[in-house]
Amino acid sequence: MNVVYEELLAAIHSVWHRRWLALAVAWAVCLVGWLVVALIPNSYESKARLFVQLDDALAEQVGIGVADRKRDIERIRQTLTSAVNLEKVVRSTPIGDTITSPKQLEAKVLALAENIDVVSQQDNLFEITAISNDPSFSDAENAQLARSVAQKLIDIFREENLAGNRGEMSETIEFVNQQLAQREKQLERAEQERMAFEAAHPEMAQGAAATAQRLEASRSELRGVEADLAAAQSALAAIDGQLAGTPQSLPGGTAGSAAAALQRAQTELAGMRARGLTDNHPDVISTRNQLASLKAAAEREQSSGGGVPNPAFTSLQSIRAERQANVQSLNSRKASLQSEVANFSAAALDNPEASADYQRINRDYDVLRQQYDKLLQDREELKLRGEIKTEREAVKFEVVDPPTTPVAPTAPNRPMLLFGVLIAGLGAGAGSAFALGKIRSTFATTASLERATGLPVLGAISQTMTDAARKLRRRRLKYFYGATAALGGLFVVLLAAEFIQRGLVA
C-alpha cells in the first residue's frame, strides 16, 4: 500500500514539475477539439402525425374495400421518400435555391433521404420526421427548413392519394377506351364479313340458324326419350318378374270369369274404334294387348275346366300391357327423332365448307360482341369507382399533430461535447507530462532511487532558493494559474455562446 501511495505522489510530482507542458498540451487539445465541435452543424428535427380514416360505406358498395385502401396507403407511405417526391421537396423549399446542376440536385436528394423517416405507428396513424442540418443555413433557417420539409411531405402524402387515385383511374379508363375502340373495329369487320357471307349464301343465312336450332332441339328431345325408354323398359322387366311369381287362378269357384273379362275388353275395343281411334293410339294398343292376354287366359280356363281366376294376376297383366304399350310408343318416338336428326344432319352436310365458315363467322362475331359488352360494363364500373374516390374521398386525412418548429437542436449535444473536450485536454496534458517524466531517468523520492539501483541511499539534499528565485517562482505560478483559469473561462464562454445561440433560434 505504501508503494502505491508513493507511486501516486511521484506521478503527481512529475506532472506538477512539468505543469507548463501539461497546460500547453491541454490548451492545444481543447482548442482543436472545440473547433471541431463548433464546426459540427446543428440538427433540427420537426415531427408531425397524420391520421387516415379508411371507413366509407359507399366506397365498399362499389368494391373499394378497407383492405384495398390500406394497400394504397401503405404504397404511398413506402413511395413517399422516393427520389421523385424528394425532388419535389427540394425544389419547393430553400434547399433548392443554390442548386445549379443536376449533380447538385442528386446530392441534395440523397442527403434529404437520410434525414426523413415515415413510421406507421398504427394501421391508420403515421408519424413523419424531418431533420435539417445544412451547414450553409443558420440555425434559425435550419429549424424553419425542417418544418417546411415535414409540411411538404404531408402535402405530397395527400396529393399522392387524391391526385394519384385520379391519375391512375384516368389512365385505366383511357386504356379501357383504347381496348373498346380496337374491339369496335374488330366487331365492325366481323359484322361486315358476316353480311358479305349472307349475301353470297342467302339460303344458308336464312335456314342455317333455324336448322341448327331444330337439330339441337331434336337431339335434346331424343336424349330425353332415350332416358324415358330406359325407365319404361326397366318397369316392364319388373312387372314381368311379378307375373312369373303370381298364379293365374285360385282353387274353387266357377268358370267363365276370363271369358267375361274377354267380352268386356272386346266391347271396349269396339267402342274406341267407334270413336275414331286408330290402331296406333296408345289406348287401342293397350286394349289389344289386354285382349291377347285375356284370350290366352280364357283358353287356359276352358282347358282346366274350373277354378277361380286370380284377380292379382289379371291386374298385373293389365299393368304389363299398359307398360308394354308405353315402351312401344317410346320406341316409335325414338325412331322418329332419330330420323329427324339424320335429316337435319344430312341437310347440314350438303355444303359442309360453307356451313363451317358460317359457323366460324358467327362464333367469332359472338365472342367479339361479348368482349365488347364486358369492356363497356367494366368502363362504367371504373367511372363510378373513380367518381366515388374523387367526390367522396374514400380515404380522408386529418393532421393530428402539425409539423413542429424546433427551438433546440436535437444533435449534437454541444455542451456535453465541450465538457468532454475539456476533460480530454486536461487528461492529455497530464498524460504527456507523466509520460515525459517516465522517459527521463529522474526519481522523485529516495525510495524509488533505492529500488531502482539496489543500493542504500544515505540521504537527500534539499533545494534551497534565493529570494529572487522565489519571486520568479511565484510569478510563474501566477501565470500558470492565470492560463489555467483562462482555459476554464474559455469553456464557460463557449457554453454561454451555445445557450445564447439556442435562445436566438427560439
Contacts of 202 (CB under 8 A, 6+ apart): none
Q: Let me know if 461 is exposed, middle or buried by CB neighbors in 10 A (0-12, 13-18, 19+).
A: exposed
The mean predicted confidence, pLDDT, of the chain is 77
Q: Which three cell numbers stand for residue 463?
A: 533545494
Comparing CA positions, the residue from 339, 408, 433, 358 lying closest to residue 20 is 433
Comparing CA positions, the residue from 113, 122, 138, 149 lying closest to residue 52 is 122
Q: Which three cell numbers stand for residue 433?
A: 507530462
What is the distance of C-alpha 165 from the center of its chain?
16
Q: Decide if 85 contacts 429 (C-beta within 8 A).
A: no
Q: Could you give the maximum distance between any two Cα atoms of the chain, in Å?
A: 181
At 488 the pLDDT is 92
At 345 the pLDDT is 65
Angle between helices 2-17 and 19-39 (to 10 degrees): 70
Determine how many CB atoms are found less than 10 A away from the CB of residue 62.
16
At 120 the pLDDT is 77
At 1 the pLDDT is 58
At 53 the pLDDT is 67
Comparing CA positions, the residue from 64, 158, 157 lying closest to residue 389 is 64
Give me the mean pLDDT over the 243-248 stretch: 69
How far is residue 137's CA from residue 93's CA, in Å, rounded to a whole number?
13
What is the distance of C-alpha 48 from the center of its chain?
27
Phi-psi label, residue 307: left if phi above 0, alpha if psi -120 to 50, beta otherwise: left
Residue for grid cell 379508411: 54
How far is residue 396's CA from residue 55's CA, in Å, rounded to a whole number?
9
| Residue 60 pLDDT class (50, 70, 90 cuts) | very low
Residue 241, pLDDT above cutoff 90: no
Q: Decide if 41 contacts 122 (C-beta within 8 A).
A: no
* Maximum mean pLDDT: which of 59-73, 296-310, 460-474: 460-474
Q: Domain ranges for the chain, please list them.
A: 2-40+412-505, 44-177+388-401, 205-365
Residue 185, pLDDT above cutoff 70: yes
Q: Write the pLDDT tens digit of every residue in 281-317.
A: 777 788 788 877 777 776 666 555 445 666 777 777 7
Angle between helices 352-391 and 202-244 (to 10 degrees): 100
Q: Write the pLDDT tens digit of every residue in 79-131.
A: 778 888 888 888 888 888 888 888 888 888 888 888 888 887 776 778 889 98
Q: Write the pLDDT tens digit of every residue in 253-280.
A: 444 566 667 777 777 877 777 677 777 7
Cα angle 405-411-417, degrees, rounded to a multiple of 5: 140
Residue 203, pLDDT above cutoff 80: no
Residue 490, pLDDT above cutoff 90: yes
Q: Write the pLDDT tens digit of every residue in 402-437.
A: 898 887 788 788 899 999 999 999 999 999 988 887
Architecture of the domain defined by 44-177+388-401: 2-Layer Sandwich (3.30)
How far is residue 118's CA from residue 131's CA, in Å, rounded to a whole number?
12
Looking only at the bridges linking them, the beta strands covering 44-53 and 396-401 are antiparallel
